[in-house]
Amino acid sequence: MADQRNRPYADAYWESRDGLRLHARDYAGGEDGRPPILCLPGLTRNARDYASLAERLAPEWRVIAIDFRGRGESQYAKDPMSYFPLTYLQDVEALLEERGIDRFVAFGTSLGGIVTMLLASVDRHRIAGALLNDVGPEIEAAGLSRIRGYVGKNSWHPTWLHAARALAEANSDVYADYTIEAWLAMAKRLYRLNSAGRIVLDYDMRIAEPFRVPGNEAGPDMWRTLDALAGRPVLVLRGERSDILSAKTAEAMEVRLGQRAEVVTVPAVGHAPTLDEPTSIRAIGRLLDKVREPVTA
């Protein structure tokens, strides 16, 4: 077992309203009363996706990276139909209440960005700033179809190198410049070693079940939830090759969010930027500079 004293974060646990034990990584920091950064991952991802960003920003900023229910070290749900954005919203609100966090910056990738918009729609004044990473109020049909094609399909590999090569084969158009070392690092974020010594995906395969219910993707009007972020510092990152967030939707978001928002296209990347690209790093720096400015609305 790894020595937890050498980790740059503390494990944090809390209980959902339906009794699940949920997990987050809490990177200590936050100078001058700065609000913590709450990191919300994509559909099949987990807190490990934010490790590089968190280590880069802490200790200047406190960073809390969440494992949604059914992912990473969070407990799997008994009812697979609870794998739904409104339930994730309730889970995050339970964490905020338990930890006494009344104001924060939200970084949301894909699904995490949808939850970010929902958080703002409940109480916009607690949002000090937001990053919407390759997601918006409208999801492109091609991207949604692609996600439905792979989510919930279990796979395993005998070694980490096999897992890395499988990721490279399936996602070479998303991260065209990746080396095998980069694919290996991604494999260790996405997979885990199980008790049988196999490398397996680190999420509950049943998260796919809500996708199989006709019309279940409808949900609330996300344009109205986006409006709750208007006037706040917001960064919208879009992968140049994204099949989830179109350039047209990103442009409409910038207009709707107002002059404190910025839309940035990350070159040569699909869905979704890792937040380690130089373009992303610079844009995140500008967002956090805005967060430190006084908020008047």
Confidence of residue 221 (pLDDT cuts 50, 70, 90): confident
* Domain range enclosing 90: 4-152+210-291
Considering the domain boundaries, does residue 191 fall inside one? no
* pLDDT tens digits for range 230-283: 999 999 999 999 999 999 999 999 999 999 999 999 999 999 999 999 999 999
Angle ∠(107,113,115) on CA atoms, nearest 5: 105
Domain of residue 25, CATH code: 3.40.50.1820
Tokens linked to 254: 């910038």
The answer on pLDDT for 137 being more than 50 is yes
25 inside domain: yes
Band (1; pLDDT cuts 50, 70, 90): very low
- Asked whether residue 118 is domain-assigned, the answer is yes
More confident residue, 114 or 33: 114
Apex 38 CA angle, 292 and 89, nearest 5: 125
| pLDDT of 2 higher than 70 | no
- 186-209: pLDDT as tens digits: 999 999 999 999 999 999 999 999
For 82-134, how does the pLDDT look when each residue is reduced to its tens digit (9 = 90+)? Answer: 999 999 999 999 999 999 999 999 999 999 999 999 999 999 999 999 999 99
Residue 192 is assigned to a structural domain of this protein: no
CB 250 within 8 A of CB 273: no
* Whole-number pLDDT of residue 268: 95
Asked if residues 272 and 42 have their Cβ atoms less than 8 Å apart, the reply is yes
Alpha-carbon torsion (251, 134, 43, 129), positive or negative: negative
Confidence band, pLDDT 50/70/90 cuts, at residue 212: confident
- What total of structural domains would you count in the chain? 1
Q: In whole numbers, what is the pLDDT of the chain averaged over residues?
A: 94
Asked if residue 182 belongs to a domain, the reply is no
